[in-house]
Structure 1
């Protein structure tokens, strides 16, 4: 019997015993320095926002964060920038492209916001090699069905570029979070390659249904089933058979570096779901490697 990792130093033993070459993590953030500082300050004040402390485990300089991921065996990961107002997305995309150019393990990321310029800079990002996009409905405070985004969604549907989208109402509800806006979006663009962040917490069942209904809708495990999340937004264990059946559409996500526990805990939390080693192999490596064409 393979045992879950006891700590970060034990993570490579874990994925090796599963027969994997490493991990593909589809939900990692590396943001421009001043943006990162503001994000970490937000989490420092988490008790005000969430009613619970949120100590950032990996509030480290960039080089040290990269070294942590390398020691863990994370072979590929994005940087997932996201704007909270107009006029940010273009320069976030430029920064993300430059960062990916310096680090071959990074999946070049980009983002967008509902503004007239969006279709232009999304096209530029794709031409520059963007492999994954990030959208944060709660932070951006916009409806993903905004008509300004119609040409963007149409273009991404044609290219099949994955979009990691935080659209569930956890840990904070927004004006446009929840399954209804995403259902409406997918009714108009059913071939979008979406990755629903955090498994759609806390509306787990509704987002499982979207993954069941739409061929290219995936789910990521970011913070899912961890002790921290189970206290705030517990997962109904009666949904486990549906999660097991979606094995090929579930991707490892962590939210590194802004997680309030060691990275190994996310893996241990998935392990204790008791969905089997084949499910774990698919989630920790196979699905992400297939989606992003990551070789052994």
Structure 2
């Protein structure tokens, strides 16, 4: 996949499409992308900008529709609009925005979120009933305990319906009070049928989250930022664990964090291909696993 790390644009799209076409795939399914209200996205970008020049540059600052067009140009057949609240009272509004986005973009998987607050179980059940396909929980940004009793009905509704939830529960890039494998493992113990997608492959606690995926049949891992040179400097993936990752290949899903990434989109695909875990593994990760999970 030579040249896939070139600046975003037509050349990058051609290289990305060549990769999945050579694998015989109809395209890509990316379960970890972000589209959110403009003022919320602006605050996310402001956070990264405040880290200092060159620390975490946002590669894709185009308008919303230009970003959608970029994904389609890369050959992404389906993508998500993951957002996450950091205080009570935000989740319903974010869910309404995401529902409207999905209504206008049929190739987006309708996404939703929640926060530990009174009524969370009710609005999550309503969102599922209205067609939400995937949820997002961010334990670091939200700074909440996933074991909070206010979330018991939420996890129950997600488990009973089989609706996947992408959970940022690893301690990267910065640890939080409730990040790491221990708090979320207790949620899984209480709700073993929960379809959870551990964001960023659980970085930096990769091995512990592989343990959870081996213990619970409905725990998945997404590849978001994993193996890229950017994250390898901070939290290198232990190469001794690659055989376990290969064996769990049917539950590994492509995620990228688009547009909030400090490198071109194709970088994520390049590093996954370079793991050399086999074409069947790569086909599953880039498309087939998510297509099966969501019935696409």
Structure 1 residue 123: Cα displacement = 1.5
Question: Helix, strand or coil for the counterpart of 2:233?
Answer: helix
Q: Deviations over 1:108-162 (max 9, x none)?
A: 0000000012011111211211000000000000010100100111111100000
Is the 2:200–2:223 contact (alpha carbons within 8 Å) kept by the matching residues of 1? yes
Q: How far apart in 2 are the matches of 1:204 and 1:82?
A: 23
What TM-score does the superposition give when structure 2 sets the normalisation length? 0.96
Matches within 5 A, 1:97-112: 97-112=99-114
Q: Deviations over 1:49-85 (max 9, x none)?
A: xxx7000000110011011001100000110111000
1:94 aligned partner: 96
Is the 1:85–1:140 contact (alpha carbons within 8 Å) kept by the matching residues of 2? yes
Q: How far apart in 1 are the matches of 2:2 and 2:261?
A: 23
Q: How far apart in 2 are the matches of 1:127 and 1:202?
A: 35
What's the RMSD between the two structures over aligned residues? 1.3
Matches within 5 A, 1:123-142: 123-142=125-144
1:280 aligned partner: 282
**Do residues 43 (structure 1) and 48 (structure 2) align?**
yes
Q: How far apart in 1 are the matches of 2:279 and 2:52?
A: 37
Matches within 5 A, 1:54-65: 54-65=56-67
2:292 aligned partner: 290
Q: Deviations over 1:200-245 (max 9, x none)?
A: 0000000001001100000000000000000011111000000000
Structure 1 residue 292: Cα displacement = 1.1
Q: How far apart in 2 are the matches of 1:46 and 1:289?
A: 36
**Do residues 33 (structure 1) and 33 (structure 2) align?**
no
Structure 1 residue 47: Cα displacement = 4.0
Question: Which of 29, 34, 38 pairs up with 1:24?
Answer: 29
Q: How far apart in 2 are the matches of 1:123 and 1:279?
A: 34
Structure 1 residue 4: Cα displacement = 8.1
1:195 aligned partner: 197
Is the 1:5–1:14 contact (alpha carbons within 8 Å) kept by the matching residues of 2? no
Is the 1:196–1:220 contact (alpha carbons within 8 Å) kept by the matching residues of 2? yes
